[in-house]
Structure 1
Amino acid sequence: MKRFIVFAIILSVFACSTNQEAEFSLTNHIPDDTEAIILTPNLPEFIENLKNNSFIKESKFGLQERLSSQLQFIKHLNLRSKTGINLSRISSETMVYTITTKKDSALVVLDSLQNKSVETLKEDGVELQRIAIEDDKFFLYETGTTSIISNSKTKILDIAQRKNLLKSETFKNAYNAADPNKTSVFLRNSAFKKITGLFENFNFPGFRNFSEWSILDLDITKSEMKLNGISLPGNNSFMNLLSGVNPKEAEVAKVCPSDFLSFYSVNFSSFDSLEKNLNNYSKDSIAREFPEILQYVRELASIKLKSGNLFVLNAVEIEIAKENLAGLGVEVENYRNTPIFELENPGIFKNPIPELMLIKENRFYGIVDHFIIFSNEIDPLKKAIADYQNSNTIAGKSYYSELTSSLSSASSILMVSRLPEFYASLDKSPASEKLSFKKNSLAAFQIISEDNFAHLHGIFSNSEGQKMNGSGAEQTAYFKLDAPVNLTPYFFKNHETDQMDMAVQDEKNTLYLISNKGTVFWKKKLDSQITGEIHEVDLFKNGNKQLAFSTGYQLEVLDRNGNSVKPFPVKFNEALTQPLAVFDYDNNRTYRFVLTQNKRVYMLGPKGKSIKGFDFENAKANIVKAPKHIRLGSKDYILIAEESGRLNILSRQGSIRVPVNENFNYSENEWYGYDGKFISSEPDSNLISVTQSGAVSRKNLGLADNHRVVANDDLLVYLNENELSINDKRLSLDFGLYTDPQLFEIGRNAYIAITDLQAQKVYVFDINAELLPGFPVYGTSKVDIANADLDSKLELIVKGEENEILLYEF
């Protein structure tokens, strides 16, 4: 990594100098072994930009002390003209430099210095000065209008005698392409090999013989460094591989998990052109054979994750590509509706193009959209599939979009790294090295082939503001049950930690209580499946929470240790026909447990005894929905719907409070309180409204028979086939098989969740019908939403695979 940032190291050295002024002419005085050249029209401004860059200012590089000690004297120079800094032996312990600028009588300021010496030397007819300022020593030679400073007397003598100077037509072409108004860096291929060792960690071998010369113009701000330039190839340079191969858009970010370490992508419009160049480049007498599938792809990519590596093929003909893979492996697992195959020959895609990408063996592969993803381990492949389904890829992050907006839309090669994590994954750096990366710091380098040269674009972004921009739904954990999940998972308050645990039941009637970190507190075998929801209650009004629910024949209340709270359970001789309803009229934890057996209603108090004074016991016909408590203004109502179509709107005592003279053809939707009225719907598309005086009205919304409605005091939400309406704001979803919309009120905000069981996607919207960032995510059931831990973000739990619970944060 330190070789990757040596360029920034070199630049940062000058940030230690005081503001100066500069100008110079470059090409007549460059030693022929120069590997890197920094050319700047305004050295003081360049130094100031370096000093203000947060990364350089806050970081400490391993090589910084050595370079600073060699170039510390720059602060004593009046570099007021265009300045060139030529560097050679850049990877050695003592770097050789020559600094060239316009001759100035005030170039070296010595008057105010105490520890100084100036000695005039004459050697081989060349007169020069050896200057010592404190611990810094250098040589100064002046000729015509030019001043040259170096730590090497040999370099000075060679320049004076016009020996061993750079004479390269390729360099001259690169120099002519430089923007004279910007700071530019010229890099020889030997410098690329020495200072860009990081690229080897991308599985990219190209910089071993990348090009003869490259030039990069620099733009440095407080939080970014941008590089834009060109590379000019020499004989048999790597760049020749891309000649005539048109660039394409890199799409690997669409399947790259957002917590990746790095990715490297090669893009081409036609593999035929690339294949021809590869054969010419290798100079083999026999044409090489490539996997046939490469004819149907336009991108090869390598992704590094903390858990392993991925190799990705981006297919333009995915069905043909699938046929090409058929018979090469067998399906070993179906993960989230995505088959995972194991290759019979894991080495079939090993180093298919070693000049472009170093790929190891890959045993497994899966296909998402038009991407074929390979891995030698199954877990990284599952992670890629899960993050793709959860929309948790780097392409969906705003900080990535902002970074790549500075790049071209089409690439021949694109490399991106997530710097803090990527740096941490490499070999440990010396203790003296400290790099100050901010969260979500990214670096990107792009190569775009064009005729006989290549465009280069790079950006390093270290912006503090990206922390907020990267927010969105992310899967933070998953939990496995012993048997398939049967019940929507529910959050349950843990009064000991002030966080939320999770309650869920499996198909074997076992109820689990699990912490939000995955610790299973207990498992309890129940008599049958829980019907309806799990309710959170506080029977003793002391903040200690209990779980209340009904099963087929009993009402149960459990404490957080899984023990029944006496006198529960309350058992019934006949089956309960509707789920448990829990009323808390005044939000004072004086609970009413309401249960139904056909026509009969039971209302029990916190001690499991029947509530005296509740007179409604028997309906005229079977009750078709769990009794519902609705509060409109300051008045309480209990709604009981009968199979006959009769609607009973009762007082707390069970007497008729609102007489309703009409019968209804009920849909599967419940009754809700909305806008001061009671609302539900009929199967024939009518929205029913009943006033508090019993007046009935109907509004034809053109709803299909299977529509779903949910509401609260201020929000009316309904799903009609694939159209979701939130307070008359409508949006079209993909056609699918959807759960009922769920409405969550958390603090001052409300959220609407809905799951497409067919596509296995969970959507969460705000009250303005805007999909929240990071959604949809993978899920196969209804959800529960709460602030389950101690931070400000919300959590969502949902069933994943058949015996899996997923936890998301957003």
Structure 2
Amino acid sequence: MKVKILLIFSVLLSLQCSPEKEYETSLLQFMPENASAIIKINDYNSFTAALDDNELVKKLQTLDLSKKISKLLVPLNYAQPSQEALLGFTIDSLQKLNFTFTASDTIPYLQLSEVTDKKIETLQHKDFDIKKYTVEGHDFFTIKLNGKEVLSSSITILKELISSFTTRNTNQQLAKFYRVSDPSKLAHLWINLNYSDVLLQYLTETRTAPLPSGFADWLFLDISLGNEGLFLNGISTAEASETNYLSLFTGAKPLANSTFEMLPANVSSFASYTFSDYTSFSTNQMRYLNQNTALDSLFNTIEEIGTAQLGKEPLVLMKTFGTDQITDYLKAKRKSAEAFQGSEIWELGDASLLVDTFRPLVSGFESNYSSVLENTLIFAQDKKVLEKVIIAYKNANTIQTTNLFQNIEALTTEASSILAIANAKGFEDRLTEYNFIETAKQLGEAKLSDYIFGSEIISDAGFFHSSYFIKKNSAKKVKNSITPLFTLHLDADLRSVPQFVTNHRTKMGELIVQDMDNVLYLVSNNGKVLWKKELDGALQGKVHQVDLYKNGKLQFAFTTNNKFLILDRNGKEVKPFSIAFPGGNLNPLAVFDYEGKKDYRFVVTQNQKVFMYNNKGKIVSGFKFTSAPESIIEAPQHFKIDRKDYLVFKLANNTLKILNRVGKVRIKTNEKIPFSDNSINVYQNKISLTSNKGLLYQIDTKGKLSKTDLGLQVDHGFDATSKTLAIMDDNVLRIRDKEVSLDLGVYSKPTIFYINDKIYVSVTDIQNQKSYLFDSQAVPVPNFPIYGSSVIDMANIDSDRKPELVIKEQDNSFTVYKIN
């Protein structure tokens, strides 16, 4: 029988967050007065069938605590009552677990006629026959008392029951809930927390964990089982002592739980505590802690405390209806402050502030850093954790976008005194934190990664509405969620936009970036700096990857203001590619590979001069265009249209030079074009560019030039592929024939990416630090915009076919995200 699941997990989940004579005869009179827990079963056959069919119960049978109770309850395999039944658990003076079972049936329900391995003895006690059964190696006892058959693993319990039956008292609260229990429910679980300490210690074999007797007096819960999990709903009482944990919330009206809305999507557990009147909470807290005076009233505007685990790192959140008083205090006590994504992060000088003020809700936490999001103060022990919270909130990548939130939404109310939620890993971590170490380990082995653990407590007049659940995470995975992989802070502010490159050994993506001290960084796809190299100047344009020796090993090729360099995988210069150009003023490097055979042509342009090098660092003598009539104003480009090569140079006098491989004119163009600040592309098999007058110029392979007035502003942005045109004009983005109006701002040029057979178009509002992403039909990718202050780069940097993007965050940091 599998009732052990109901018993132990209701107590463990609760951690995550006077007698009177009974004159009427009820089954309760057959239960030990010191029972730790009682299960009332309304229909025995239906209950046992539901346990047998429940997927969660099957998974939890592997736990040691489940095995202990299964072994104890073997005698119930021979019991077949047809009516209501009670099952009670007690721990005796020898720390042995026992059970007592009885049913409403007036005829014997113990069925042993078909069992051959059995021995039955009759013992006498005060004129009562006590039968001792030894069945298939298991001992148990029964008596007939007041017309009922009572079965127990302990003869001592039955003797005490005989002696006290006519004079015994039944707990008033227990009797009340027995009378009002709904017979249509599958079963009910009643836990006397004042007697449950030894039970929990026995089942989990721990003596150092928090004891449930300090939580409340009683739990009265209805049991529901289904394909999705286990659900316990009812009430808790905490009347016997002001030192019960739930007494902290006595007299406080529950409020809407909202601090979790600030938490990143990958949080493993969180808890929310609300109180409509902080003074009332403070008074309850003073009694609970046995203090003579209330704690500091600095926080009297607080109405919710949230705690959470982000990986191994804890967080504390405080929602307030008046932040000024608290923030003024924190600013006065701060050691330093820095800006991060439009928020301020303060390094605080009082690590024990929250523990001193909010214990026992907050414990073992150092309030080293703090920030404010809307009306919520967020505290972290590690600054990087606080940065992750801010990034997730700014990018709307919070827990509200996850399956976890969608699954608990229907199970919880909008307002509660205590709300605690965890995924399997988070619940295991909480058990470990409470010193249920072995239980946590076994829970991990039970493979419950697709389950959610939760509890909710709502304060009411004299009692607390309580619910506990373990629910299967049944919703489909949220598509296109944006997950931050890591944020990296450089030694100095960024000079270049982070760019994805390829690790030729692993075939995975990496990043290359330069800071304002001209230091070049190579960074792995998990955020580890692989090497740093100081250059003599700033990068010009992009870094190109080439395979000089045609052996699969890639090198990095680029120009600075006055040098053409190629570095190997380890950041060392590849000889002879460290070529200086007196006078500097180099354009970005151009790399041509005409046939895709890695016979590279490296083109360096300096003012009017053109230098073309081969794989060995030698000038290509056959290339005749070594000097232009005017200064070349950007890196030349190579296009292949209808199997012919076109080398295009943009000159300072607003003319184009369109050449063939050897540097001779392939298309003669005489018309001057007032160039916009956009690159040249091939669109519709035509060399295409825009002017600062808002015209689209296109030149076909026969040299015919056409002009289309697009009505663009001077500072418009333009990018194109063979079939896709993207234009950013003021706050209107055009992709093919679709238009999207964005918020007013200052936008970057659009950038087109082609990844995993899908086109993406990105623009960034530099003024408001928001980056947008659209598909080829101008449909926004869900969960964008994200926070950022640069254009993005995109690539698939691992093997999962889910693209990643990188964007500058602060002046000295960038973040890599995954699009799921």
TM-score with structure 2 length normalisation? 0.83
Alpha-carbon spacing, 1:756–1:53, altered in 2? closer, same or farther (3 Å):
farther
* Of 181, 185, 189, the match for 2:185: 181
Structure 2 residue aligned with 1:264: 271
| One of 172, 179, 187 as aligned partner of 2:176 | 172
Cα deviation for residue 163 of structure 1 reads 4.0
> How much has 1:282 moved relative to structure 2?
8.1
Whether 1:407 aligns to 2:407 is no
For 1:219, the equivalent position in structure 2 comes to: 224
Q: What do you get for the CA RMSD once the two structures are aligned?
A: 4.2
Find out whether 1:291 has 2:297 as its counterpart.
yes
Q: CA deviation at 1:535?
A: 0.5
Instruction: Judge conservation of contact 1:254–1:396 (CA < 8 Å) in 2.
Output: no
What's the counterpart of residue 17 of structure 1? none
Q: Is the contact between residue 307 and residue 380 of structure 1 (CA under 8 Å) also seen in structure 2?
A: no
Distance 2:409 2:92 in 1: 31
Q: How far apart are the structure 2 equivalents of 1:91 and 1:670?
A: 85
Distance 1:546 1:525 in 2: 17
- Structure 1 residue 597 and structure 2 residue 606: aligned? yes
Which amino acid in structure 1 is aligned with residue 674 of structure 2? N
> CA shift at 1:549, angstroms?
0.9
The offset of 1:413, in angstroms, is: 0.8
Matches of 2:421 and 2:347, distance apart in 1: 29
Distance 2:290 2:573 in 1: 80
- Other-structure match for 2:16: none
Contact kept, 8 Å, 2:6 with 2:189, in 1: the verdict is: no
Q: Does 1:746 align with 2:755?
A: yes
Is contact 2:269–2:427 with CA below 8 Å preserved after alignment?
yes
Picking from 690, 700, 707, the partner of 2:710 is 700
Identity across aligned pairs (percent)?
Answer: 28
Letter in 2 for 1:411: S
CA contact (8 A) 1:679 1:690 kept: yes
Spell out, residue by residue over 1:35-70, the C-alpha distance to the aligned partner (whole angstroms, 9 max, x if none): 322233344444444445445434432323322221
Q: Distance in 2 between matches of 1:527 and 1:241?
A: 64
Q: Is contact 2:755–2:803 with CA below 8 Å preserved after alignment?
A: no
The alpha-carbon distance between structure 1 residues 184 and 552, as it changes in their structure 2 partners (threshold 3 A), is same
2:103 is the alignment partner of 1:101: yes
User: Bigger shift: 688-697 or 498-507?
Assistant: 688-697
Residue identity matched to 2:170: L
Count of residues in Structure 1 that have an aligned counterpart in Structure 2? 789
Whether the aligned pair in 1 keeps the contact of 2:272 and 2:418 (CA below 8 Å) is: yes
Distance in 2, Cα, partners of 1:174 & 1:392: 47
Deviation (angstroms), 1:532: 0.4
Partner of 1:329: 334
Q: 1:166 to 1:756 in 2, by over 3 A?
A: farther
Distance 1:221 1:384 in 2: 36
Q: After the TM superposition, which residues 100-139 of structure 1 pair with which residues of structure 2 at under 5 Å, given as runs? A: 100-103=102-105, 107-139=109-141
Partner of 2:253: 246
Aligned to 2:7: 7
Q: Pairwise mapping of residues 269-348 of structure 1 onto structure 2 (< 5 A)? A: 269-271=276-278, 274=281, 288=294, 290-295=296-301, 297-305=302-310, 307-319=312-324, 321-323=326-328, 325-335=330-340, 338-348=343-353
For residues 588-737 of structure 1, what are the structure 2 equivalents within 5 Å?
588-611=597-620, 614=623, 616=625, 619=628, 621-632=630-641, 634-654=643-663, 657=666, 662-692=671-701, 694-700=704-710, 703-731=712-740, 736-737=745-746
Q: What CA deviation, in whole Å up to 9, does each residue of 1:423-445 have, x standing for no partner?
A: 25434317994542444643111
Q: Find out whether 1:511 has 2:520 as its counterpart.
A: yes
Q: Whole-Å Cα distance in 2 between the matches of residues 419 and 441 of structure 1?
A: 6
Query: What secondary structure does 2:223 align onto?
Result: strand
User: How many Å separate the matches in 2 of 1:152 and 1:520?
Assistant: 66
For the 8 Å contact 2:11–2:212, the answer to whether it is kept is: no
TM-score using structure 1 length: 0.84
* Structure 1 stretch displaced more, 396-405 or 269-278: 269-278
Question: 1:516 Cα deviation (Å)?
Answer: 3.7
Give the aligned residue type for 2:77. K
Deviation, structure 1 residue 314: 1.3
- For the residues of structure 2 that align with 1:505 and 1:353, how far apart are their CA atoms? 45
Report the residue type matching 1:373 in the other structure: I
Q: What is the distance in 1 between the residues matched to 2:348 and 2:132?
A: 69
Q: Which residue of 1 aligns with 2:546?
A: 537
- The CA deviation string for residues 134-192 of structure 1, in whole angstroms up to 9 with x for no partner, is 22222233457743322234544555634435241465147525462333222233267
- Cα distance, 1:72–1:384 mapped onto 2, change above 3 Å: same
Amino acid in structure 2 at the alignment position of 1:220: L
Q: Is the 8 A contact 2:283 2:294 kept in 1?
A: no
Output the CA distance in 2 between the equivalents of 1:458 and 1:732.
47
1:585 aligns with 2:578: no
Query: CA–CA distance in 1 between the matches of 2:508 and 2:651?
Result: 40
Residues of 1 paired with 2:622 and 2:418: CA distance? 78
Look up the match of 2:375: 370
Q: Which segment drifts farther, 568-577 or 485-494?
A: 568-577
What amino acid sits opposite 1:65 in the alignment? K
Matches within 5 A, 1:467-478: 468-469=477-478, 472-478=481-487
**Aligned CA distance change for structure 1 residues 283 and 548 (closer, same or farther; 3 Å):** closer
* Aligned partner of residue 33 in structure 2, secondary structure: coil
Q: Give the deviation of 1:764 after TM superposition.
A: 4.5
The corresponding residue for 1:21 is none
1:653-706: CA deviation from partner (whole Å, max 9, x where unpaired): 5555556675433221212223444443344555555555534242436x5443
* SS of residue matched to 1:596: strand
C-alpha deviation, 1:110, in angstroms: 1.8
1:533 match: secondary structure: strand
The CA distance in 2 between the partners of 1:780 and 1:377, in whole Å, is 24
Aligned counterparts of 1:432 and 1:660: Cα–Cα separation in 2: 75
Letter in 1 for 2:456: Q
**Runs of at least 5 residues in structure 2 that lack an aligned partner in the other structure:** 13-24
Provide, for residues 244-282 of structure 1, a one-character-per-residue CA deviation record: whole Å limited to 9, x for no partner. Answer: 533222222233345545332112344355456667878
Secondary structure of the residue that 1:63 maps to in structure 2? helix
* Greater alpha carbon shift after TM alignment, 298-307 vs 171-180: 171-180
1:9, 1:61 within 8 Å by CA — same for their partners in 2? no
Are 1:390 and 1:475, in contact at CA under 8 Å, matched by a contact in 2? Answer: no
Q: Is residue 206–residue 356 contact of structure 1 (8 Å, CA) maintained in 2?
A: no
Partners of 2:767 and 2:281 in 1: CA distance: 41
CA shift, 1:536, in A, is 0.9
Alpha-carbon distance in structure 2 between the residues aligned to 1:444 and 1:471: 26
Shift, 1:103, TM fit: 2.1
Counterpart residue number, 1:71: 73
2:297 aligned partner, one-letter code: P
Q: Structure 1 CA distance, aligned partners of 2:94 and 2:570? A: 66
Determine helix, strand or coil for the equivalent of 2:83. Answer: coil
Render the CA deviation track for 1:706-747: whole Å, top value 9, x for unaligned: 332222233333334444444455555555554433332233
Residue 351 of structure 1 contacts residue 359 of structure 1 at CA under 8 Å; is this kept in 2? no
- Aligned equivalents of 1:793, 1:532: Cα separation in 2: 27
Q: Which structure 1 residue ranges, 5 or more long, are not aligned?
A: 13-23
Displacement, 1:74? 1.9
Tell me the secondary structure at the aligned position of residue 75 of structure 1. Answer: helix
Give the match's secondary structure for 1:73. Answer: helix
Residues 42 and 700 (structure 1 numbering): CA distance in 2 closer, same or farther, change over 3 Å?
farther
Q: For 2:471, give the aligned amino acid.
A: S
Alignment partner of 1:33 is 2:34: yes
Q: Distance in 1 between matches of 2:723 and 2:94?
A: 72
The 1-side partners of 2:63 and 2:142 are apart by 29
Structure 1 residues 5 and 290: alpha-carbon distance in aligned structure 2, compared to 1, 3 A threshold = farther
Q: Please report how far the alpha carbon of residue 410 of structure 1 lies from its aligned counterpart in structure 2 after TM superposition.
A: 2.0
Over residues 377-435 of structure 1, what are the superposed CA-to-partner deviations in whole Å (9 max), with x where a residue is unaligned? 55554554455456554344323432344222222111123432552543431799454
C-alpha change, 1:470 and 1:399, in structure 2 (3 Å) is farther
2:568 — aligned with what?
559
| Maintained 8 Å contact 1:474/1:774 | no
SS at match of 2:727: strand
The one-letter code matched in structure 2 to 1:41 is: N
Deviations 1:57-100 (A, max 9, x none): 34432323322221112222224433332223399842232222
